[in-house]
A and B are shown apart, each in its own frame.
Chain A
Amino acid sequence: MGKLSRIAWLYIAAVIAAAVIAIAGGPFAGINWAQVVVLGLLVVACESIATVLKSRSLAWSANSTASLAAVILVGPVGAAIVGACTLLGVRRGPSVPQRLFNASMFALSAYLAGRTYLLFGGPVGTPGPSAFPGIIGPFVGAAAAHVIVNFSLLRGVLWLTREPGAPAGRVGLDFKLLFTDLGYGAFGLLIAALWGVLGPFTPVFVLIPVFIARWAVAQFAAQQRSYEATVSALCQAVETKDFYTRGHSERVSRGSVMIAREIAMRAERVEAIRYAGMLHDVGKLGVPTSVLQKNGSLTDDEYAAIQLHPMRGLDIVREIGFLDEALAGIMHHHERIDGKGYPMGLAGEEIPEFARVLAVADAFDAMTSNRSYRGARSVPEGVTELRKWAGTQFDPAFVDAFVTAIERDGWKGPETVAGEAAGAVGESAAADALTAGLEDPEPDPSAPAEPLRAIESL
């Protein structure tokens, strides 16, 4: 927290002050405090179990659901108080300023949503049958205002606390997340509407489908993690064939993701290129071990055998339901911009984008790792080499993107592995340690939890 800029501190203080003023300004007349307490408890409960479920987006959606229900039931000030209950969540993790900011942000979003609701002429209080369908228009306005204010405040703080020189693509609105949030916003209207029938038990019933949806999201995330771990373990198994390439797939995957993020690729494509990077050399299995580990120059036949590996790789991964782009990337990662690569000899823009990205990351890692015929080059030497071949072997745009990313974030090359016995079983422990060090610190871009998680790393 200490290294925040003064502007960031001012911003956070301003948000907190605005929330305090909004709540303190009232008016408090006509607020049904029983409803405020029930909805506030709901927020506290959701905040508190968020850690248990390890799905921060749960707290996220439940907050907006409760706040939006409060907008209808108790008006803007009551809704702001409900939003501010985020502060009371018993959850370790966020520090006091983070909690204050989060609570103020929710309070302010709820308050402005309430104001929007009134502006469109929405009635405050428990709605009866006569309120429909007239209430829906103002409510949609309120939900939109809630999402927009929330996102703007959050993006503001992320932008002010960003690492200097962070790529612009990462600080933008995620429209999928907006859609999800608006979808959950509908539950707010349901809570308000059902209050007339089910009374204070309403939130309990309404939350069952929400929790199931979140359960599915959590399952998805867990499956995706195990999926990634399994793919990576299998790739390492493949690498045991070629002693010198240990950890190579993992690093090429990381490098490709760095380039993809730098050129602001969409999240799904970044995911796809991550897998493509991991699997790009899987076809080497089809190359005899004696050729892969050969010291000295290769005969024409041996060279032909090596040139076959992208096609072999494609044979293996073809049945996986990846994006077609990932498959094309694996097949063409040895093409060159000047058309002298293999297997097809494509040139320039004919080469799929994924393949051009993979080629840069692949070559860079090969240069900065030990090989049977030479030692590893240093990172600056590798960069010089990349620049030298940009335009003939590599796409200059991706070389630039990669170099920018390396200069900002650094590059974690292979740990020293020289001098180890090539006994395969003995190696796996070292390989294990290697991956542990290579864990990707980036949050999963496809998880809807990103904004809250980001604020917690403040």
Chain B
Amino acid sequence: MAARRYEPRGLPRQVLDSGQSLLVVFAGLLVIAAVAQTAVAGVKDVHAAVAFGALIAFGELLRLTMPGDRETAPIAAAGALAYALLLNIGNEPARQSPQQVIAVAALGMIIGALPHLAVGRPARLPAMAARLLAVACVAAVFRPLANASLIGSRWWSELPVMVALVIVAWFVEAVIAALIRTDALRARFGVTLLDELRVQLPLGAAVGASAVLIAFAAEIMGLWAVAVFTAPLLVTQVALRRYAGIRATYLQTVRALARVTEIGGYVEAGHSARVSRLAVAIGRELGMPEPELLELEYAALMHDIGQLSLRDPIPGGATVLVVREEQRRIAEYGAEVIEQAGVLDAVADIVRRQSDPCRPAVRGQEPPLSSRIIRAANAFDDLVGSSVEPSRAAAAVQRLRLDTASEYDPRVVEALSRLVSRRSMLGP
């Protein structure tokens, strides 16, 4: 029963899938209501609505995928938040209703998303809904205050309110994104929320600061603020895109190069990829945060790189079948290879200690959790291979369980067992 603690705290998958559609439906109803009310009440300041709508559509067109498959549209988010936080345009006070803000943001997002759909990219409605709801929260709080002139007219009274609301927007979007991820990846909500908050912090700060600046600049520059601001926002976007690009290439490269052991005939084809998938799934099941999961993935991909030091491949590549000393030598050499990169020392350490038993002779020298996960995942894959037969997987788990006294971490094996039974439930 001790393993209960490690059960993911999310809802079962079927309910959560409908959770995502619930989110989209809720956002959709909100948009319909907002558009209807705006149409009835009449659009206030059409020029501003068109200018900000255009900025949002442009930003949505340029949306980018950040590490961890997170879709963001910083320019669109900054534009929408700025529209929600607008106080004056030139000398004229801005009086758009919260419904109008939601309607403009939604229409801008939809128009910007159309070209993506046209070239066959997925719509990613939940992510769009999350972005829209964050803006809606800010508009719902700020617009009534601003329209009733309750915020004062000096920057030192306006700024704290704006900053607080920008932080709220960041938090709302992180919560919704975390819920989506909890659902999609079967991770734990607390862990994913912290991941989201951390990942979104720099981006959220840039978006929030830009939004506040556009809102203030509109007082002096009028709607030209939108045009002038597009240039620096674009530069920021380019920088972010390059960063996201190299992160993606890095992972692809390690994934590809990890296959050298397969091409060289040292391990069975697909072994590294399967072990890394399984290891990451176990790590997530055990509630590891994202940076550690990334290290775990790298280490799992490269765990067999040390076999390159062998002149001739081990038959079948199954390291579980060779003696401990040999395993240790392979792990040690793999770690040395990775250490030469000079930037993946944590990964090297995980690889080095993958052959250590989880109950060492000396207390306090247990290998890191990631090493224990790779050890179990590797052994499981050596026993099961690419077979999808449930009985074989169950037998392999049983065999690992028998060795939990010294070789494998019981927590890791239990997590593996849950994954395996879930997988056999869902079918191959």
Contact A197-B155, Cβ < 8 Å, known A212-B202, A220-B246, A425-B336: yes
Stretch at the interface among B9-17, B232-240, B366-374, B385-393: B232-240
Most chain B CB inside 10 Å of its own CB: which residue of A128, A183, A187, A233: A233
**Residues in B242-289 with C-beta less than 8 Å from chain A:** 242-243, 245-250, 252-257, 259-261, 263-265
Chain A residues contacting B221 (CB-CB under 8 Å) are: 129, 132-133, 193
Query: Does B341 sit within 8 A of A, measured CB to CB?
Result: yes
Chain B residues contacting A186 (CB-CB under 8 Å) are: 228-229, 231-232
Question: Is the CB–CB distance between A136 and B228 below 8 Å?
Answer: yes
Stretch at the interface among A14-22, A116-124, A203-211: A203-211
Counting contact residues on chain B (CB < 8 A from A), the size range is 35 or more
Question: Is the CB–CB distance between B234 and A194 below 8 Å?
Answer: no
Query: Does A454 sit within 8 A of B, measured CB to CB?
Result: no
Question: Is the CB–CB distance between B213 and A321 below 8 Å?
Answer: no
Complex alpha-carbon distance, A226 and B250, angstroms: 9
Complex alpha-carbon distance, A205 and B219, angstroms: 16
Question: Is the CB–CB distance between B329 and A425 below 8 Å?
Answer: yes
Chain B residues contacting A136 (CB-CB under 8 Å) are: 224, 228
Question: Is the CB–CB distance between B259 and A316 below 8 Å?
Answer: yes
Question: Is the CB–CB distance between B216 and A283 below 8 Å?
Answer: no
**Residues in B90-131 with C-beta less than 8 Å from chain A:** 90-91
Chain B residues contacting A230 (CB-CB under 8 Å) are: 250, 253-254, 341, 343-344
Question: Is the CB–CB distance between B220 and A180 below 8 Å?
Answer: no
Query: Does B8 sit within 8 A of A, measured CB to CB?
Result: no
Query: Does A457 sit within 8 A of B, measured CB to CB?
Result: no
Contact A234-B213, Cβ < 8 Å, known A210-B232, A282-B260: no
Kindly count the residue-residue contacts between A and B in the assembled complex, taking CB atoms under 8 Å apart: 206
Map CB proximity to B onto A121-153 as digits: 1 under 8 Å, 0 otherwise.
Answer: 000000111011100100000000000000000
Query: Does B49 sit within 8 A of A, measured CB to CB?
Result: no
Map CB proximity to A onto B40-84 as digits: 1 under 8 Å, 0 otherwise.
Answer: 000000000000000000000000000000000000000000000
- A168 nearest CB across to chain B (Å): 27
Chain B residues contacting A182 (CB-CB under 8 Å) are: 231
**Residues in B321-374 with C-beta less than 8 Å from chain A:** 329, 332-333, 336-344
Query: Does B384 sit within 8 A of A, measured CB to CB?
Result: no
Question: Is the CB–CB distance between B337 and A233 below 8 Å?
Answer: yes
- B391 nearest CB across to chain A (Å): 33
Stretch at the interface among A28-36, A388-396, A428-436: A428-436
Map CB proximity to B onto A188-216 as digits: 1 under 8 Å, 0 otherwise.
Answer: 01100110111100000110111011111
Q: List 22 A-B contacts (CB under 8 A).
A: A129-B220, A132-B222, A136-B224, A183-B235, A184-B235, A186-B228, A189-B228, A190-B213, A194-B217, A196-B219, A197-B216, A209-B233, A209-B236, A215-B202, A217-B239, A223-B243, A236-B340, A237-B337, A285-B263, A321-B245, A431-B340, A435-B340
Known: A212-B236, A286-B264. 19 other contacts (CB 8 A): A182-B231, A190-B232, A194-B216, A196-B220, A205-B213, A205-B216, A208-B205, A217-B242, A220-B239, A226-B344, A229-B340, A238-B308, A241-B308, A282-B257, A285-B261, A312-B263, A319-B255, A320-B256, A432-B340
